[in-house]
Amino acid sequence: MTIAALATHAQLDLGFARRGERTVMDRRLFAWPFVLTRSFALDAVPAHMLSVIVQTSSGAVHGEDRLKQRIRVAPGAAAHITTQGATSVHRAHPGFTSREAITLEVAPDGQLEYLPEPRILFPDSALDQTVEIEVARSGAAIIADAFTVHDPLGEARSFRRLTSSTILRRAGEAALIDRLDIMALPRRRGSRYAAFGTVLMVMPEGIGRCEELALTLTERLGSLGDLYGAASPLPMRAGVGVRLAAPDLRSVRAGITASWIAYRLALHGVAPADRRFAAT
């Protein structure tokens, strides 16, 4: 599906533009199940960043859902996107698969932080997710994706299938294509990992510190208790990619937060404001 077609049918379509010393939402379209309330200016650096919490009225993804999102950051604007909490992916009837398509666009000198809360995959769920990311050579972005396996009965039942495709482009040229296809992943007694995450840190062209950033972040992730984490430079020197695995979501969240802090420090020299308290 083209970007134009996606925008026509997206249940969530957001645009961010620079207006003087601040970022504003110049496009704010949403339909069920997505809900938007007010936005926040939480950061001293970058002072023009606008933070938005995307909520869902359903609180879950169901087997018949076909969800589409488009988020565009215009030249010089900066946006931070998160969600209100982890999203449950419920059982899909045989022959059905929940589908989600996400398009993220960052124009020259724009900045996007797309850090939704993880997915909780329930028994017999099936999810097919596609994330297309277009970042200008002078733009920057950090994108996180994470999930865990959960059986409320404790019987080690698994989701049915998880497929995911992530495509990163710089100025129209593919820099990364990452595909995941897992048929089942039951949580057996004694298994070490049940939560997993990926973070892409797309840096402006010419920043030249990807290898150093990857080494420093890998050391930091190694100090976070039960978390297994590793960072490495992305192809075409586009930035840094991070893989995370842990027994629970709390540890994966810690790894995502550590990656976010490292990204902000590399880009701005200042850690981000703590969202748990700054918006209250």
Q: Vertex 276, ends 274 and 279: CA angle to 5°?
A: 90
Q: Judge whether 265 lies within some domain.
A: no
Write the CA distances from 136 to 22, 105, 170, integer angstroms: 20, 8, 6
CA distance 80 to 43: 10
Tokens for 19, please give them: 């207006």
Q: Could you tell me the residue range of the domain that residue 86 belongs to?
A: 3-196
State residue 188's pLDDT score: 63
Q: Judge whether 255 lies within some domain.
A: no
State residue 56's pLDDT score: 86
Nearest one of 57, 68, 53 to 115, comparing CA atoms? 53
Paired sense of beta strands 195-202 and 50-56, if any: unpaired
Q: Judge whether 182 lies within some domain.
A: yes
Q: What's the domain count of the chain?
A: 1
Tokens for 61, please give them: 């993804």
Determine how many CB atoms are found less than 10 A away from the CB of residue 258. Answer: 21
Low-confidence ranges of the chain (pLDDT < 50): 1-7, 277-280
Q: Judge whether 249 lies within some domain.
A: no
Q: Judge whether 257 lies within some domain.
A: no
Q: Judge whether 128 lies within some domain.
A: yes
Q: Judge whether 147 lies within some domain.
A: yes
Which secondary-structure segment (H or E) carries 18?
strand 12-19
The pairs formed by 180-184 with CB atoms below 8 angstroms and a separation of 24 or more are: 184/158, 184/159, 184/160
Model pTM score: 0.92
State residue 261's pLDDT score: 96
Q: Judge whether 263 lies within some domain.
A: no
Tell me which amino acid residue 166 is: T
Phi, psi angles (nearest 5°) of residue 56? -125, 135
